[in-house]
Amino acid sequence: MNVSPAQHRLWFLQQLDPGATEYNGCVAYELRGALDRRALRLAVSDLVDRHEALRTSFPAQRGVPRMDIAPPGGGVDIPVVDISDAEAALFVEERISTPFELAAGPPIRIWLLCLDRDRHVLVIVVHHILIDAWSIEIMAEELKVLYTAHSSGTPVRLPAPEAQYSDFAAWQRATLTREHVERELSFWRERLDGAPALLDLIADRPHQVDSSAAGEELLRPIPPDLVEQVRSLAARYRRTMFVTALTALTALLSHVSGTDDIVLTVPVSGRSRAEFQSTVGFFVNTVPLRMDIPRGLPFDRIAERVSAATFDAMEHSSVPFDVLVSESRDRRGEGSTPLADIAFQLLHTGAGRTRWGGLEVAEWGGARQAVTRFALELHVLDRAPRAMDQALCYRTDRLLPGTARRLLDGYEGVLWAAAADPGAPLSELGSRAW
């Protein structure tokens, strides 16, 4: 069975560097209470049986990767590890840093860490070729329903997924005809013609070809009072939190770089058809946004432009991002600066703690991986009505730690300034924040 174009790209990158782990991710849940290990094992097994993506490996035939989907009912191995809190983070970090052999079996590993009698951590290390952030939300909700049912002895009440990822891959390949791709590329050529290398105007060090520099992450909570004010700002101008948070970043980048021409990337779900909404798989795509942001405009007018640019990009988001990158490289030449090297993402991560039957469950943050697929990434984590975090991931060969901290300070400063006076021009907002 043919893989999707996005899966093909990740498979190809893994063949170039079999030891790479930048696309390994970790989902971990802290479980507090009297754990029913049998119910947990059944819940995880049911989850894997429900979604073909979690049973897929990627052998190659004549140099071309294929999906090899194992039949359901094979069970799931969940080793139990007795471990201390101090050792748990290192244990998980080492597992995240262990590469997968994509042809040898589904690139997913699961452990149950036993911290004490009533505290456990369910750890799922998985390659991005299988899932995306949307999939993680599906998995969390289904594990909740499945564990609750198995631990209470009640029937599982979950409708079967309307489609599997292999259905999406087949549909996408049928959709991406040569004519369709060329029409989309024509739009992007015009849209991105003459786009600046924005990070070059901000970075401490110049772009380097084939750099293997490490990534670092700065994680900081946004003050609850500011979260409340930003939500009020979004509601006042009838903007989503995504547009509001992105507008603040755009304003900061314009001020710091000294240019009105802003280019960055954002993720799109890739789930344009209703039947894929509840399917686990690697659907997400990346699209570039290019925005003209005159520094005399106030925050609410900038938000209008950001919203319009986002809408236009979403309308032309069917072509995989790596196709745009390849086409851009062909036109600009090898060794040129990337098409876009700044990324933004807003993630809805839930309201902290929830319940799986008799367990109190929360995301476990004991191990974090600073993955920087772009030179600079800002992730806003929307957790609850008064809880948001900001995470700045950056490449150490482009930015110094002090510059990264100042950018994070500046982003929060723009949010404060915009919430206090959204009618102030961008230049004034930037001066207050930077």
114 and 144 in a single domain? The answer is yes
- CA–CA separation, 103 and 71 (whole Å): 16
> Is there a single domain that holds both residue 217 and residue 119?
no
Please list the residues that pair with 30 across neighbouring strands.
121, 362
pLDDT of residue 348: 84
Task: Judge if 219 and 243 occupy the same domain.
Answer: yes
Per the structure, the complete domain to which residue 67 belongs is given by 5-167
pLDDT of residue 352 exceeding 80, the answer is no
The string of pLDDT tens digits covering residues 183-222 is 999 999 999 988 888 788 888 888 775 555 678 899 999 9
Domain final residue pick, 140, 167, 194: 167
Same domain, yes or no: 159 and 220: no
Same domain, 278 and 426: yes
Residues 73 and 204 in one domain: no
Q: How far apart are CA 152 and CA 429, in angstroms?
A: 55
Longest pairwise C-alpha distance within the chain: 63
Q: Are residues 102 and 195 in the same domain?
A: no
Total domains in the fold of the chain = 2
pLDDT of residue 288: 95
Q: Tell me the per-residue pLDDT of 52-94, one tens digit each, with 9 for 90 and over.
A: 999 999 999 999 999 999 999 998 999 999 999 989 999 999 9
What is d(CA 251, CA 429) in angstroms, rounded to the nearest whole number? Answer: 8
Residue 284 lies in a domain: yes
Using 50, 70 and 90 to split pLDDT, how confident is the model at 331? low
Render pLDDT for 109-136 as a digit per residue (tens, 0 to 9): 999 999 999 999 999 999 999 999 999 9
The pLDDT, as a whole number, for residue 350 is: 63
Task: Answer with the residue of higher pLDDT: 430 or 95.
Answer: 95
CATH number at residue 295: 3.30.559.30
Residues 202 and 130 in one domain: no
Structure tokens at 122: 């369910």
- pLDDT reported for residue 322: 85
For residue 334, what pLDDT is reported? 53
* Same domain for 102 and 20: yes
Confidence at residue 426, expressed as pLDDT on a 0 to 100 scale: 86
Mean pLDDT of 143-147: 98
Look at residue 351 and tell me whether its pLDDT is greater than 80: no
333-345: pLDDT as tens digits: 554 456 788 999 9
Domain boundary residue, one of 167, 200, 217: 167
Q: Is position 358 within any domain?
A: no
Q: Is residue 173 part of a domain?
A: no
* 153: in domain: yes
Which tens digit of pLDDT belongs to each residue from 229-252? 999 999 999 999 999 999 999 999
Q: What percent of the chain is predicted at pLDDT more than 70?
A: 94
* 360 found inside a domain: no
Residues 6+ apart with CB under 8 A from 432: 413, 416, 417
* 38 pLDDT above the threshold of 90: yes
Ranges 46-50, 79-83, 121-125, 175-179: which has the least confidence: 175-179
The 10 Å Cβ neighbour count of residue 174 is: 8
Indicate the pLDDT class of residue 332, thresholds 50, 70 and 90. low
Q: What is the pLDDT of residue 335?
A: 46
99 with 185, same domain: the answer is no
Q: What pLDDT score does 361 carry?
A: 96
Q: Is residue 184 part of a domain?
A: yes
Q: Looking at residue 92, which CATH number applies to its domain?
A: 3.30.559.10
Residue at which a domain ends, from 167, 186, 205 = 167
Residues 101 and 186 both lie in one domain: no
Task: Evaluate whether residue 359 is within a structural domain.
Answer: no
Tens-digit pLDDT profile for residues 154-174: 999 999 999 999 999 999 999
Closest among 426, 427, 416 to 301, alpha carbons compared: 426
Q: What is the pLDDT of residue 336?
A: 46
Q: Tell which residue, 377, 417, 95, 30, has the closest CA to residue 219.
A: 377
Q: Does 289 reside within a domain?
A: yes
Same domain, yes or no: 150 and 258: no
